[in-house]
């Protein structure tokens, strides 16, 4: 039976997964990927092979089914439906590792308890990550399971980049800048190291522009600053999240407009960003297809905010050698890349219109002082790689 590793990324209403078979020298070969969507309403499971062909699809009528039921189903499917694999490891995306976890961890009882203590730092995400971990541990107690953290990549930030200008006691209590999207940035940093070691060794801004969006300043492949902070609400404008906002606005909404903290939360996470400004959609593709003035305004603000924050990160880096675009918008929208690059032309950055239109791996001209690349991210593969590392280390320890 072929050995395999499963990556799981569990959210409130969805579970994304990717299954990798182990080839020669433990090379990860994509077998299938997919998701269960609509948990809590009308659940739908779909799995595709590496070429995008549908391997399995299923719908359920019961909205009360939870993460446990779906994970059980998914794991049974990996045993049989996906080509009779034997799972040697399950890797879980975990949004918050706090200050404690700077690298992937085997999910022992103690680690799970420590992760549960971090729920107040990420109440919208961490409980769902934990629900999936607990369900997968119950369903496959014999398989090693690993937590891979979205925050961990940013642990190399210098102390000054982690502070808010509030009294020390708050910092000691964990109110500091953590940063997120770390699995995506680690994948980008690794890929860049293989593609272009010179650029990877220099000063790079990576732009993860998806529904969630952030920038990361990397020096020699390590994070030294990032736009998301205490939560994934900070920094850039996103699909439905506001990004950085004067904290006085929140006080005003609560104190003068009588909004509850739940209402403010809903406003800032769900009704803002591209959706809030356009009044139409939080989906960049839809906004680019629209001719309404408010759609253009939302796109303009998105671009402005990316360029402005990128300028700040160039300052953190003390200069810039390379820029990388990744995630849904960064990988697929030549228009947005061109608009951002135009605003950053003062850095000596120039893009090749044709290469940009094609989404070529390098989209800057030969004369550009900054190399601009497009690198498709693959957080699931990174999770599988890190999971397999820990599985093999554990096996070696047992033999020794
Ligand atoms: P998530 O953060 O949920 O993983 P993605 O990385 O898939 O999101 O990014 C989703 C965003 O990418 C959406 O705003 C979508 O409209 C945008 N996107 C995908 N393809 C294109 C495209 N061809 N042009 C513009 N935007 C695109």
**Given strand 203-209, what is the order of strands in its sheet?**
222-226, 213-219, 203-209, 322-326, 371-374
- Looking at every residue in the chain, the average pLDDT score rounds to 94
- Ligand 1: lining residues by beta carbon, under 6 Å: 210-212, 239, 283-285, 288, 327-329, 332-333
Report the range of poorest mean pLDDT among 66-75, 214-223, 330-339: 66-75
Q: Which residue has the higher pLDDT, 340 or 125?
A: 340
Percent of the chain with pLDDT over 90: 84
- Asked whether the beta carbons of 351 and 365 are under 8 A apart, the reply is yes
DSSP 231: S
pTM of the model: 0.95
Query: Is the pLDDT at 281 greater than 90, yes or no?
Result: yes
Q: What is the Cα Rg of the chain in Å? A: 21
Nearest CA to 6 out of 100, 115, 79 is that of 79
Ligand 1 geometric centre to CA of 284 (Å): 6
Token pair for residue 61?
């009528």
Q: Which of 212, 328, 330 to mutate to test the pocket of ligand 1 (most atoms within 8 A of CB)?
A: 328
Q: How many CA atoms lie within 13 A of 370 on its CB side?
A: 23
pLDDT digits (tens, 9 = 90+) for 4-15: 999 999 988 889
Q: What is the mean pLDDT of residues 24-50?
A: 90
Ligand 1 geometric centre to CA of 212 (Å): 9
pLDDT digits (tens, 9 = 90+) for 82-106: 667 889 999 999 999 999 999 999 9
**pLDDT number for residue 39:** 85
Question: How many residues in total does the chain contain?
Answer: 400
Strands 85-94 and 144-149: parallel
- Asked whether the beta carbons of 153 and 182 are under 8 A apart, the reply is yes
Cα distance between residue 68 and residue 77, in whole Å: 14
Cα distance between residue 373 and residue 360, in whole Å: 8
| Residue 304: count of CB within 10 angstroms of its CB | 14
Catalytic residue among 26, 62, 150, 321: 150
Report the range of poorest mean pLDDT among 65-74, 364-373, 386-395: 65-74
Q: Which of 239, 275, 281, 285 to mutate to test the pocket of ligand 1 (most atoms within 8 A of CB)?
A: 285
Q: What is the mean pLDDT of residues 156-168?
A: 97
**pLDDT number for residue 288:** 97
Hey, whose CA ends up nearest to atom 19 of ligand 1? Answer: 328
**pLDDT number for residue 166:** 97
Query: Is the pLDDT at 267 greater than 90, yes or no?
Result: yes
Q: What is the mean pLDDT of residues 340-369?
A: 97
| Residue 292: count of CB within 10 angstroms of its CB | 12
- Asked whether the beta carbons of 385 and 28 are under 8 A apart, the reply is yes
pLDDT digits (tens, 9 = 90+) for 100-135: 999 999 999 999 999 999 999 998 889 999 999 999
Ligand 1 geometric centre to CA of 329 (Å): 5
Annotation marks residue 150 as catalytic: yes
- Asked whether the beta carbons of 27 and 20 are under 8 A apart, the reply is no
Write the burial class of residue 106 (CB in 10 Å: 0-12 exposed, 13-18 middle, 19+ buried): middle
């Amino acid at each position: 039976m072929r050995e395999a590793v499963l990556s799981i990324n569990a959210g409130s209403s969805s579970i994304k997964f990717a299954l990798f078979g182990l080839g020669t020298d433990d090379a990860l070969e994509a077998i299938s990927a997919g998701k269960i969507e609509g948990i809590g309403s009308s659940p739908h499971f779909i799995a595709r092979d590496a070429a995008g062909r549908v391997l399995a699809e299923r719908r359920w009528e019961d909205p009360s089914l939870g993460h446990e039921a779906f994970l059980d189903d998914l794991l049974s499917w990996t045993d049989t439906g996906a080509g009779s694999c034997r799972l040697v490891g399950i890797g879980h995306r975990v949004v918050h590792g706090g200050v404690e976890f700077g690298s992937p961890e085997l999910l022992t009882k103690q680690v799970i308890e420590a992760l549960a203590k971090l729920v107040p730092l990420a109440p919208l995400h961490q409980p769902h990550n934990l629900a999936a971990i607990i369900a997968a541990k119950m369903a496959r107690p014999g398989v090693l399971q690993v937590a891979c953290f979205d925050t961990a990549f940013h642990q190399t930030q210098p102390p000054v980049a982690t502070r808010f200008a509030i009294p020390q006691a708050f910092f000691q209590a964990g109110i500091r800048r953590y940063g997120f999207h770390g699995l995506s940035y680690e994948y980008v940093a690794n890929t860049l190291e293989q593609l272009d070691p010179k650029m990877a060794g220099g000063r790079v801004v990576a732009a993860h522009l998806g529904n969630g969006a952030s920038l990361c300043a990397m020096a020699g492949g390590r994070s030294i600053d990032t736009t998301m902070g205490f939560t994934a609400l900070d920094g850039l404008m996103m699909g439905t999240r506001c990004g950085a906002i004067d904290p006085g606005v929140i006080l005003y909404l609560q104190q003068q407009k009588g909004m509850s903290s739940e209402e403010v939360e809903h406003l800032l996470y769900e009704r803002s960003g591209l959706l809030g400004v356009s009044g139409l959609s939080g989906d960049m593709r839809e906004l680019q297809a629209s001719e309404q003035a408010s759609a253009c305004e939302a796109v303009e603000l998105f671009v402005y905010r990316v360029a402005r924050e990128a300028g700040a990160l160039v300052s953190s880096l003390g200069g810039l050698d390379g820029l990388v675009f990744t995630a849904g918008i960064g990988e697929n929208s030549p228009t947005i890349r061109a608009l951002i690059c135009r605003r950053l032309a003062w850095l000596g950055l120039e893009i090749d219109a044709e290469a940009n239109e094609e989404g070529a791996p390098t989209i800057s001209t030969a004369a550009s002082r900054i190399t601009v690349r497009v690198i498709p991210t693959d957080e699931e593969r990174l999770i599988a790689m890190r999971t397999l590392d820990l599985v093999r280390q554990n096996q070696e320890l047992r033999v020794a």
